[in-house]
Chain A
Amino acid sequence: MNQLRDSTSASLRQGRRRLLLRRAAHALVVAALALAYLPAAAETEQIAEPPKALKQLSLEELFDLEVTSVSQKPEQVSKTAAAVHVVTADDLRQMGAVSIPEALRYIPGVEVARVDARAYAITARGFNGTVANKLLVLMDGRSVYTPLYSGVFWDVQDAFMEDIEQIEVIRGPGATVWGANAVNGVINIISKSAASTQGFLVTGGAGNRERGFGGARYGGTLGPKAFFRVYAKDYDRGPSLFPNGDDAGDASRMRQGGFRADWAPTPADGITAQGDLYGSSIDRRNGDPTELSGGNALVHWTKSFSEHSNLQMQAYYDRTKRDVPSVFGETLDSYDLTLGHRFAPAARHDVVWGLGYRLTSDDVRNSAALAFLPPRLTHRLYTGFVQDELTLSANRLFLTVGSKVEHNDYTGFEYQPGVRLAWTPTPAQTIWGAASRAVRAPSRIDRDLFAPSQPPYFLVGDSTFDSEVLMAFELGYKGQPTSEVTTSISTFYNTYDKLRSLEAGSLPLLLANGLEGRTYGVEAEAACQVVRMWRLSAGYTFLRLILDVDPTSTDTSQEKQEGDSPRHQAFLRSSLKLPHALTLDASARYVGRIPNQNVPGNTICDARLAWQPTKSAEIAVVGQGLFDSRHPEFGMPSTRREIGRSIYGKLSCWF
Chain B
Amino acid sequence: MLVLARRVLVLALLVVLHPSTAFSAGAKSTHEYDLKATFLFHFAEFVEWPAETLPDKAPFTIGIIGNDPFGKSLDEIVANEVVDGHKLLVRRFQSVSQIDSCQILFIAPSEASRLDQLLSHLNRRSVLTVGDTRDFALRSGIIGFVISEKRLRLAVNLAAANAAKLTISSKLLRQSEIVGPAPVRE
Q: A and B from one assembly?
A: yes
B4 and A578 within 8 A (CB)? no
Assess whether A636 is interfacial by the CB under 8 Å rule: no
Given A67-B29, A588-B11, the answer on whether A44 and B152 have CB atoms closer than 8 Å is no
When the two chains form the complex, which single residue of A55, A59, A69 contacts B175, counting CB atoms closer than 8 Å? A59
Assess whether B166 is interfacial by the CB under 8 Å rule: no
A residues in contact with B184, CB < 8 Å: 224
A residues in contact with B94, CB < 8 Å: 395
A63 and B29 within 8 A (CB)? no
Given A62-B39, A63-B152, A627-B7, the answer on whether A46 and B29 have CB atoms closer than 8 Å is yes
Q: Scoring A residues 62 to 101 as 1 if CB is less than 8 Å from chain B, else 0, what string do you get?
A: 1111111111000010000000000000000000000000
A577 and B121 within 8 A (CB)? no
B residues in contact with A225, CB < 8 Å: 140, 181
Assess whether B83 is interfacial by the CB under 8 Å rule: no
Assess whether A456 is interfacial by the CB under 8 Å rule: no
Beta-carbon contacts under 8 Å, B132-186 to A: 134-135, 138-140, 147, 149-153, 159, 171-172, 175, 181-182, 184
CA gap between A57 and B11 in the complex, in Å: 45
A residues in contact with B73, CB < 8 Å: 51
A residues in contact with B120, CB < 8 Å: 267-268, 304
Most-contacted residue by chain B among A46, A47, A395, A427 (CB, 10 A)? A46
Assess whether A12 is interfacial by the CB under 8 Å rule: no
CA gap between A44 and B8 in the complex, in Å: 27
CA gap between A223 and B182 in the complex, in Å: 10
B38 and A55 within 8 A (CB)? yes
B23 and A531 within 8 A (CB)? yes
A306 and B23 within 8 A (CB)? no
Q: How many residues of A contact B (CB 8 A)?
A: 58
Secondary structure at chain B's binding surface: helix, strand, loop or mixed? helix
CA gap between A84 and B73 in the complex, in Å: 33
Interface size class of B (residues with CB under 8 A): 35 or more
Given A307-B121, A533-B23, the answer on whether A68 and B175 have CB atoms closer than 8 Å is no
Assess whether A584 is interfacial by the CB under 8 Å rule: yes
Closest 5 CB pairs of A and B: A224-B181, A267-B120, A51-B73, A54-B38, A267-B123
Which positions in B face A, CB cutoff 8 Å? Answer: 4, 7-8, 11, 14-15, 18-19, 21-23, 25-35, 37-39, 41-42, 46, 67, 72-74, 76-77, 94-97, 109-110, 114, 116-121, 123, 134-135, 138-140, 147, 149-153, 159, 171-172, 175, 181-182, 184
Q: Could you show 25 A-B contacts with beta carbons less than 8 Å apart?
A: A46-B29, A48-B30, A49-B34, A51-B37, A51-B76, A52-B77, A54-B35, A55-B38, A55-B77, A59-B171, A62-B38, A67-B35, A68-B30, A68-B32, A193-B139, A224-B182, A270-B116, A304-B116, A307-B95, A307-B117, A531-B19, A579-B25, A603-B4, A605-B11, A627-B7
